[in-house]
Every structure is written in structure tokens, then in C-alpha cells.
């Protein structure tokens, strides 16, 4: 499986690249977002602020959404799933708009939500994952207006932490920082993406 990893110019891509390679994928880091339009599989990594992350993606927004609508497999991690929404309370830039709804701020005594927490899901992407503990680091989460939530997490209140639409998965947690459970999740995603092509 050839995976195109979007480098928006924010954050460290080393850990997610290494993790995907360890799952058997061939990973190419793309600095030109127009190259995503030819990708066999897309991963939007998970570090950065909303508006800054969208800067390089905005010119190709409609074309990227068309690719995702057509069934190209994709994984969005943390900010990488948040940019799939129409917009965010965190920034003024529009998102890609692939998922209808907005990204909103977590409510609770301690924000950001940092550390290990559980994901409740029955989705097949969690097949073979024994521990449901994953690593989180975020202050915002996607609040969809369509039926795309396939997993949730409790932090002061329950919020969506796993999304699926067409062949796109999104995680609010960081699988690349989530030890054996995260590696199994990424293995499952690579196998899922191979089945889409």
C-alpha cells in the first residue's frame, strides 16, 4: 500500500511515518498538497493549529473532497480529522468540508485533554485490539451533523473520538503514540486501505 502523508508544514511526521512503515506500508511525505490528488491512500497527520494546517490545503479543497467522496482511503489523526469538518472554533479558516459539522472546544475542568483514555467502539477497525486505551492530546473535537461517529470517549462528558465516512477514518486520539494498541489500529487501517483499491 502506497500512503501519501501530508506535510502541512506543522508538526513532526517521523513517528507516524515510522509506524505506518512498520505496518508494511510504503510512505511518501508530500510537501505539495496538489500531489494528494494522485494519492492511492492519504494520511492527514495530527499536530498543529486548525487555520495554519488549512493554509496549504485550501487551494485544493474541492478536489481533495472529491477524491475522498470517490472512495480513496484516508486516515485523519487529531487535527487531521478536525480539518475534514466545515470549520472550527479554534480558527477562522474553513475546513475541507468533507464531514458536515464543526469542530468545538472541549468542556471540562482540565483542558487540554492530555494522556491515556479509552475508546468505546464496535467498529471493525478495532478488530484484534485488546486494550482500548489510546493517547490523546487535544482541546477541540469534531461535532458532526451527520451519522459518522463510530467511537466515543468519556472526558467530563462523552465526545466523538472515532469517525468513518466512505473510506475515510478519523481518530481524535494518536495511534502512533498509543503503544501496541495504536500499532494494531494502524495495521488494521493499512489492511482496510488495501481492500479499498
| Percent of the chain whose predicted confidence (pLDDT) is above 90 | 94
- Name the least confident of 8-12, 74-78, 155-159, 178-182: 8-12
Q: Is 174 a catalytic residue?
A: yes
| Annotated catalytic residue within 90, 113, 138, 174 | 174
Say how many C-beta atoms besides its own lie within 10 A of residue 119's C-beta. 24
- 147, burial (CB in 10 Å: exposed 0-12, middle 13-18, buried 19+): exposed
Q: Read off the pLDDT of residues 164-189 as tens digits, 9 standing for 90 and up.
A: 999 999 999 999 999 999 999 999 99
**Residues contacting residue 39 through CB under 8 Å, at least 6 positions apart:** 2, 3, 4, 30, 67, 72
Residue among 41, 78, 138, 187 flagged as catalytic = 78
The residue ranges of every structural domain in the chain are 2-196
At a CB cut-off of 8 Å and minimum separation 6, what does 190 contact? 1, 3, 20, 23, 24, 25
What is residue 135's predicted lDDT score, i.e. its pLDDT? 98
Say if residue 112 is preceded by a cis peptide, omega within 30 of 0: yes
pLDDT tens digits along 32-47:
999 999 999 999 998 8
- List of E strands, 22-127: 26-30, 42-44, 74-77, 85-88, 99-105, 113-118, 120-121
Whether the predicted model's global pTM rises above the 0.85 cut: yes
Give tens-digit pLDDT for 111-150.
Answer: 999 999 999 999 999 999 999 999 999 999 999 999 999 9
Average pLDDT, the chain: 96
Helices and strands, number each (H, E), in the chain? 5, 13
Whole-number pLDDT of residue 49: 87
Q: How many CB atoms lie within 10 A of CB 104?
A: 16
Class of the 2-196 domain? alpha beta
176 catalytic per annotation: yes
Amino acid at each position: 500500500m502506497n500512503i501519501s502523508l501530508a506535510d502541512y508544514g506543522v508538526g513532526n511526521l517521523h513517528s507516524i511515518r515510522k509506524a505506518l512503515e512498520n505496518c508494511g506500508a510504503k510512505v511518501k511525505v508530500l510537501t505539495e498538497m496538489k500531489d494528494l490528488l494522485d494519492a492511492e491512500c492519504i494520511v492527514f497527520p495530527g499536530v498543529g493549529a486548525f487555520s495554519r494546517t488549512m493554509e496549504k490545503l485550501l487551494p485544493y479543497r474541492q478536489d481533495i473532497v472529491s477524491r475522498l467522496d470517490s472512495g480513496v482511503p484516508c486516515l485523519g489523526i487529531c487535527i487531521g480529522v478536525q480539518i475534514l469538518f466545515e470549520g472550527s472554533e479554534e480558527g477562522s479558516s474553513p475546513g475541507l468540508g468533507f464531514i458536515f459539522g464543526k469542530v468545538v472546544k472541549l468542556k471540562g475542568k482540565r483542558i487540554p485533554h492530555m494522556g491515556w483514555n479509552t475508546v468505546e467502539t464496535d467498529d471493525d477497525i478495532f478488530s484484534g485490539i485488546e486494550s482500548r486505551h489510546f493517547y490523546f492530546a487535544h482541546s477541540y473535537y469534531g461535532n458532526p451533523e451527520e451519522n459518522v461517529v463510530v467511537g466515543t470517549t468519556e472526558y467530563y462528558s462523552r465526545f466523538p473520538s472515532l469517525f468513518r465516512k466512505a473510506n475515510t477514518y478519523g481518530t481524535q486520539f494518536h495511534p502512533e503514540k498509543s503503544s501496541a494498541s495504536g500499532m494494531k489500529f494502524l495495521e488494521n487501517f493499512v489492511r482496510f486501505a488495501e481492500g479499498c483499491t
